[in-house]
Amino acid sequence: MSSSSSQLLRVAEAGRAPLSFVLDGVEVGALSGDTVLTAILMQQRHVRHSEFSGEPRAGFCMIGACQDCWVRCEDGARIRACSTLVKQGMRVVTNGARDE
């Protein structure tokens, strides 16, 4: 699913198996094989807010090198959204990933 409020638009591989995960307390859909970053940006225009400027961020390098896409699972684990595959039932929060 995508909408005008999402950063990404899926144009290929739309036939992969659907799954659901929880993003900031709301159950949303993704496809098997999506990275967490892709799954989040299919729902909204940012993955987190900069701890320096407060501006919205949507990742930068997309290859696990820049650390611009840290998010946190509800269990407290930090993950790089661009290099982690989303899983069924994963619970992701986008605020406070660098708070440690």
3-state helix, strand, coil in the chain (%, to 5): 10, 30, 65
In the complex with ligand FES, the residue whose CB is nearer, 62 or 93, is 62
Among 40, 41, 43, 68, binds ligand FES (CB under 6 A): 68
DSSP 8-state secondary structure symbol assigned to residue 89:
T
Question: What is the largest distance, in Å, between two alpha-carbon atoms of the chain?
Answer: 39
CB of 66 to ligand FES, least distance (A): 3
Instruction: Go through 76-93 and write b for each residue having 16 or more CB atoms within 10 A of its CB, e for each that does not.
Output: eeebbbbebebeeebebb
Does 36 participate in binding ligand FES (rule CB under 6 A)? no
Does 8 participate in binding ligand FES (rule CB under 6 A)? no
Interface positions, 44-63, toward ligand FES (CB under 6 A):
59-62
Contact positions vs ligand FES (CB under 6 A) = 59-62, 64-69, 80, 82
